[in-house]
């Protein structure tokens, strides 16, 4: 059932008028005949609205730094932030060296009232000394929470002094939760720190094997990066580092030796991709390892970049083998899923990435959105390659690329240049808006009220989102699939992951549970009321 603008207007009319005006800009019905459809994103959530968003500290410490296993991550603040970010993001990792995996620990300065009044710097210095003494990590991070910024503790000075005292890198991140409008600000802060302090700090000049790549924006939720690496290893790539799933300080130090950066989650790590391009000239390629077709396409784009017939042949061989293995399995599950509809609302990239996988199961995504993505995640990125020969480049022409009004230059051989021109729109990617069907709905920063209203109107067969709305949605009689933690299942990425996803989603549909639940709109409401403006 398609939804009309009138229905959306009616839904928004329940808000006070200022809120109504604001929220209207965050919702669009896809219409490819329109000149340009702009969705507002990355703006402040209206106070009082129940949002799914997190804070800058969550984006920095929880998302980007959190999975780095051989560093101890200290939260400087009252205990709540450390405690509630302890193990909730599924930062799965295996130690590369015995005793050098600290992800199960929750280390916090546990600031008390007296620290807030008199300052917490001394306590932080003491905790750093204790951590270095007990765990003997390669490096330590310190992440600031809101009160630290409010009282003015200088975590950078404390970290610098500790670094001199202890002789290991101590990285301070001023990621106070209130910075920016969501966890997105925290991603940027973490990206800056890793480029400044870690990437390039290693002494390798060249990678240890052929076709060296980094996998950026892959966080190994449910073992995703292990499934992706299984294929990359088999094809013959050298994975220099994964940022940051199952990641390590050790690997990251030499990440500058990769020849190509793959970007899985663009939202959380585009800054590193961009900075490495500027600093080391390493190009980046947007990939998507969610779904069978997207995985095959990403592998083919990578092979095109390296432009080696042996690599291309090996890529095709592995793709053929994996397709023959997984397609019959997915076909079985497809029978249970075909014709159903989904809502797909996740943080900053999965709201788009999972739509292809749903489609492979015959499930149409009728509403999707991001918690905190920016406009470019919705709209995609246009790249216009243009060839120019630089007089001073000794007959090696450069490929000049213009993307989103930024220009950069890639050194390539003349043969490869001709190939590239035809094939790779390097760094090009389609955003959510490009891929969604006409009549489907996109909602930025979907909130609790709108979730309930959209469900009543569109009655999706499955709702894919996170822990905060999962149970509310299930109580409405609709299976809810967590696409952050995968409901503690997974992996869902790559070829093997697609089968796991198909199995789990099918289980959701066939569960008899839903027959025992009566959605609230089929019963009399317990409370009625209206919102009035003062």
Report the C-alpha gap between 417 and 419 in whole angstroms: 5
Helix, coil or strand: residue 111: coil
Rounded to a whole number of angstroms, the minimum distance from the CB of residue 167 to ligand HCA is 33
Edge-to-edge strands of the sheet including 480-482?
Answer: 27-29, 441-443, 364-370, 341-346, 462-465, 480-482
Strand 107-108 versus strand 139-144 pairing type? unpaired
Biggest CA pair distance of the chain: 79
Residues 357-376 interacting with ligand HCA (rule: CB under 6 A): none
- Structure token pair of residue 184: 């997105």
The structure tokens 């007296």 sit at 114
Per CB under 6 A, does 221 bind ligand CFM?
yes
Q: Is-contact 185 179, C-beta < 8 A? A: yes
Q: How far is CA 72 from CA 65, 96, 373, 468, in A?
A: 10, 15, 28, 28
Q: Please say which residue, 149 or 186, places its beta carbon nearer to ligand HCA.
A: 186
Per CB under 6 A, does 245 bind ligand HCA?
no
What one-character DSSP code corresponds to residue 447?
B
| Beta strands, E only, 95-237 | 107-108, 139-144, 170-173, 212-218
Q: Which of 187, 197, 267, 350 is catalytic?
A: 187
Per CB under 6 A, does 318 bind ligand CFM?
no
Helix, coil or strand: residue 218: strand
**Which of the stretches 153-161, 208-216, 355-363, 481-489 binds ligand HCA when contact is defined by CB under 6 A?**
481-489
Rounded to a whole number of angstroms, the minimum distance from the CB of residue 424 to ligand HCA is 31
Rounded to a whole number of angstroms, the minimum distance from the CB of residue 485 to ligand HCA is 6
Per CB under 6 A, does 69 bind ligand CFM?
no
Per CB under 6 A, does 103 bind ligand CFM?
no
Q: Which of 26, 76, 89, 304 is catalytic?
A: 89
Helix, coil or strand: residue 320: helix
Q: Which does 432 bind (CB under 5 to 8 A by kind): ligand CFM, ligand HCA, none?
A: none
Interface with ligand HCA (CB under 6 A), residue from 62, 217, 274, 291: 62
The size of the interface with ligand HCA (CB under 6 A), counted in residues, is: 14
Report the C-alpha gap between 461 and 350 in whole angstroms: 18
Q: Is the dihedral of CA 139, 143, 149, 151 positive or negative?
A: negative
Q: Which helix (H) or strand (E) holds 393?
A: none
Per CB under 6 A, does 346 bind ligand CFM?
yes
- Concerning whether 350 is annotated as a catalytic residue, the answer is no
- Concerning whether 26 is annotated as a catalytic residue, the answer is no
- Concerning whether 58 is annotated as a catalytic residue, the answer is yes
Q: Which does 147 bind (CB under 5 to 8 A by kind): ligand HCA, ligand CFM, none?
A: none
Q: Please say which residue, 238 or 485, places its beta carbon nearer to ligand CFM.
A: 485
* Residue of this chain nearest to ligand HCA (CB atom): 466
Interface with ligand HCA (CB under 6 A), residue from 157, 384, 437, 467: 467
Q: Is-contact 64 39, C-beta < 8 A? A: no
Q: Which of 23, 41, 53, 55 is catalytic?
A: 55
- Which spans of this chain sit near ligand HCA (rule: CB under 6 A)? 52, 54, 58, 62, 88-89, 183, 347, 466-468, 482, 484-485
- Which spans of this chain sit near ligand CFM (rule: CB under 6 A)? 59, 63, 89, 183, 217, 219, 221, 265, 267-268, 346-350, 484
Q: Mind telling me the catalytic residues?
A: 55, 58, 89, 187
């Amino acid at each position: 059932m398609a939804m009309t603008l009138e229905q959306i207007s009616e839904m928004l009319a329940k808000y006070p008028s200022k809120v109504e005006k604001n929220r209207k800009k965050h919702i669009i019905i896809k219409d490819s005949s329109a000149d340009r459809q702009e969705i507002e994103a990355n703006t402040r959530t209206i106070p009082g609205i129940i949002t799914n968003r997190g804070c800058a500290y969550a984006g920095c410490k929880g998302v980007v730094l959190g999975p780095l296993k051989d560093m101890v991550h200290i939260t400087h603040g009252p205990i709540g932030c450390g405690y509630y970010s302890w193990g909730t993001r599924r930062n799965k990792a295996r130690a590369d060296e015995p005793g050098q995996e600290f992800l199960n620990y929750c280390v916090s300065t546990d600031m008390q009232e007296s620290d807030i009044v008199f300052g917490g710097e001394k306590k932080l210095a003491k905790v750093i000394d204790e951590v270095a003494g007990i765990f003997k990590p390669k490096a330590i991070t310190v992440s600031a929470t809101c009160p630290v910024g409010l009282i003015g503790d200088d975590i950078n000075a404390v970290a610098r002094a500790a670094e001199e005292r202890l002789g290991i890198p101590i990285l301070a991140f001023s990621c106070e939760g209130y910075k920016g409008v969501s966890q997105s600000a925290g991603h940027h802060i973490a990206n800056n720190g890793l480029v400044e302090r870690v990437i390039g700090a290693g002494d390798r000049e060249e990678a240890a094997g052929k076709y060296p790549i980094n996998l950026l924006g892959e966080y190994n939720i449910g073992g995703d990066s292990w499934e992706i690496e299984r294929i990359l290893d088999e094809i013959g790539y050298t994975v220099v580092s994964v940022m940051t799933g199952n990641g390590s300080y050790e690997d990251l130090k030499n990440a500058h030796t990769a020849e190509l950066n793959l970007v899985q989650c663009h939202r959380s790590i585009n800054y590193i991709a961009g900075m490495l391009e500027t600093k080391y000239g390493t190009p980046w390629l947007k990939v998507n390892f969610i779904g069978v077709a997207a995985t095959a396409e990403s592998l083919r784009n990578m092979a095109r970049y390296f432009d080696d017939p042996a690599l291309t042949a090996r890529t095709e061989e592995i793709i053929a083998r994996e397709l023959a293995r997984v397609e019959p399995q997915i076909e079985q599950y497809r029978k249970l899923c075909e014709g159903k509809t989904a809502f797909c609302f996740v943080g900053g990239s999965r709201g788009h990435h999972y739509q292809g996988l749903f489609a492979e199961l015959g499930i149409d995504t009728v509403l999707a959105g991001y918690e905190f993505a920016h406009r470019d995640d919705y709209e995609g990125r246009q790249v216009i390659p243009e060839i120019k020969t630089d007089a001073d480049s000794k007959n090696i022409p450069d490929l000049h690329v213009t993307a989103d009004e930024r220009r950069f230059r890639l050194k390539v051989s003349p043969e490869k240049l001709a190939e590239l021109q035809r094939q790779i729109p390097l760094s090009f990617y389609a955003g959510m808006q490009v891929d969604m069907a006409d009549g489907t709905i996109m909602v930025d920063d979907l909130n609790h009220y709108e979730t309930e209203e959209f469900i009543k109107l569109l009655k999706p067969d499955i709702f894919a989102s996170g822990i905060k709305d999962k149970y509310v949605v299930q109580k409405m009689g609709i299976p809810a699939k967590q696409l952050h933690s995968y409901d503690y299942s997974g992996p869902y990425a790559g070829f093997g992951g697609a089968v796991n996803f198909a199995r789990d989603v099918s289980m959701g549909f066939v569960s008899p549970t839903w027959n025992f639940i009566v959605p609230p709109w089929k019963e009399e409401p317990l409370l009625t009321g209206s919102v009035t403006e003062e």
